[in-house]
């Protein structure tokens, strides 16, 4: 017997995978958690296999779930694009989106390309700032959606975990016998807070030599060979080197990336933007 996929159920499945939590996904799509669970059960009955599994980190896709999510995202994208095309909808408007400056370097290009495929006439107002500042703007209703980072903890639901690494120029000379020169964000972003915290915990002497909120300026300072910094691994340019633990530096914690999208701000403009962000982050781990 042939079964047909319900697009709403497919959308719900994607939300659970993206958020890694039934409760968070239920709030996002505007359903009760029990109703969402019933949708997933129906989907697993149709596919004849288990698609999700609960573990210590929340809800994760099974091996077949990981295969299915690729088709699910394509189905949603084609579904929404087809409706826009045949109904001759000319969607306009604007969305305010915020993300940390360093994430803007490696996720924004792809997010913008994906979004322009279905919403070419929507204007995106983009703000890049440290996560604490983005959260403040979001809570004050000055941004519609934000991608921000938190110190990762077990059982935390998030879109993606990112490794923090020590970064320096190829010719940077590290000596633990004298204060380590650092370049940090003036507003104390998550990465720089983590760097100072772990050095202090290990009683390793450091000196804040430079401060800047601009990632391009931060990279320029690192390239000068006069200071080092902590960065998310995905944002490290190829011309800079990642300092390994053999250098004597302590390991840095992981960051959790979450996309805040309040229920009163949901709609076709922000729903698609969220999907573009989630897809971009998922693709970062692919070769």
Condensed to tens digits (0 to 9), the pLDDT of residues 48-93 reads 999 998 876 678 889 899 899 888 888 887 787 677 667 656 677 8
> Domain 1-88, CATH 3.30.70.100 — does that match?
no
The reply to whether 161-255 shares the fold of 1-88 is no
Q: 259 pLDDT exceeds 70? A: yes
143 with 127: CB under 8 angstroms? yes
pLDDT in tens, 276-286: 888 888 777 65
Q: 35-49, 144-158, 202-216, 258-272: which has the minimum mean pLDDT?
A: 258-272
* pLDDT at site 223: 97
Q: What are phi and psi of 147, to 5 degrees?
A: -105, 120
The model's pLDDT over 210-252, given as tens digits with 9 standing for 90+, comes to: 998 888 899 999 999 999 999 998 889 999 999 988 889 999 9
Question: What mean pLDDT, rounded, does the chain reach?
Answer: 85
What fold does the segment set 161-255 form as a domain? Answer: D-Maltodextrin-Binding Protein; domain 2 (3.40.190)
Query: Which residue ranges make up each domain of the chain?
Result: 1-88, 161-255
pTM comes to 0.67
Tell me what pLDDT residue 56 has: 67
Q: What Cα–Cα distance (Å) separates residue 66 from each residue in 13, 42, 48, 53, 60? A: 11, 18, 15, 11, 9
């Amino acid at each position: 017997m042939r079964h047909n996929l319900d697009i709403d159920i497919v959308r719900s499945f994607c939300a659970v995978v993206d958020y890694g939590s039934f409760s968070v996904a239920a709030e996002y799509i505007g359903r009760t958690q029990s109703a969402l669970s019933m949708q997933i059960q129906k989907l697993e009955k149709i596919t004849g296999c288990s698609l999700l599994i609960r573990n210590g980190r929340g809800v994760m896709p099974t091996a077949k779930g990981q295969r299915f999510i690729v088709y699910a995202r394509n189905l949603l994208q084609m579904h929404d694009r087809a409706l826009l095309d045949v109904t001759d909808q000319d969607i306009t408007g604007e969305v305010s989106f915020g993300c940390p400056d360093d994430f803007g370097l490696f996720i924004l290009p792809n997010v913008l390309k994906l979004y322009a495929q279905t919403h070419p006439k929507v204007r995106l107002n983009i703000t890049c700032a440290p996560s604490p500042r983005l959260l403040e703007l979001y809570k004050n209703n000055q941004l519609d959606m934000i991608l921000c980072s938190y110190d990762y903890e077990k059982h935390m639901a998030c879109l993606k975990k990112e490794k923090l690494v020590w970064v320096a120029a190829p010719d940077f000379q590290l000596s633990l016998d004298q204060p380590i020169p650092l370049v940090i964000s003036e507003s104390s972003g998550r990465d720089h807070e983590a760097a100072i915290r772990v050095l202090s915990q290990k009683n390793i002497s450091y000196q804040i030599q430079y401060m800047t909120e601009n990632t391009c300026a931060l990279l320029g300072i690192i390239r000068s060979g006069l200071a080092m910094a902590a960065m998310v691994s995905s944002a490290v340019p190829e011309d800079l080197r990642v300092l390994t633990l053999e250098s004597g530096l302590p390991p840095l914690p992981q960051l959790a990336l979450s996309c805040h999208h309040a229920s009163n701000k949901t709609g076709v403009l922000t729903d698609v933007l969220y999907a573009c962000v989630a897809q971009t982050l998922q693709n970062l781990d692919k070769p």
